[in-house]
Amino acid sequence: MENSAGRPVPATEEIVDNLPREVLQERCLLLSVAYIALATDIHSFLAPLLDKDCAVCKEQFQLHTEDPEEQIVVTLPCMHPFHEPCILPWLKSSGTCPVCRWVASILSPSSSHIKQ
C-alpha cells in the first residue's frame, strides 16, 4: 500500500504489536500452528526456523546468540520470518514484507479477514 506521494505506508503500532513473536528455544523450532491455514507448501511450513535466515540481515537463525533479541523471530502472515530487531524498523518505515511486499495494513482490526 502506498500513500498519494507513492511512498509505502508505515505499519501502525497496533499492527506491529500484534504480530506473532516466537523465541527460539530447544523445544520450539517450528512455525506457529496458527499459520498452518495460510501455508501454501506444507514442507516449508514444517521446516525448522534454524534452517532459515533473516531476509533483512541475511544471518541464519540461531538458538544461542550474543544478543538475546536475535532469538525473537517475527513471522509475517506471508510466512517470511525475521529477527525482531531487523523487521520492526522496516515495518515502521515501509509497512510491507521486504521479500514479497505483503502489506501489513491488511491486518488492521477493521479488516474482517486477511486479504492476499
Predicted confidence at residue 26, as pLDDT, reads: 57
The confidence band for 32, taking pLDDT boundaries of 50, 70 and 90, is: very low
pTM over 0.75: no
pLDDT, tens digit, 9 for 90 and up, residues 53-92: 999 999 988 877 788 888 899 999 898 999 999 999 999 9
Inside any domain, residue 6: no
More confident residue, 8 or 9: 9
Whether the per-residue pLDDT at 33 is higher than 50: the answer is: no
Dmax (CA) of the chain: 46
pLDDT, tens digit, 9 for 90 and up, residues 9-31: 899 999 999 998 988 875 444 44
CATH number, domain with residue 29: 3.30.40.10
More confident residue, 71 or 46: 71
Predicted confidence at residue 83, as pLDDT, reads: 94
For residue 54, give every residue at least 6 positions away whose Cβ sits within 8 Å of its Cβ, in sequence order, or none: 61, 81, 82, 83, 86, 87
Inside any domain, residue 91: yes
Inside any domain, residue 115: no
Host domain of residue 50: 13-104
Domain count, the chain: 1
Q: How far apart are CA 78 and CA 101, in angstroms?
A: 9
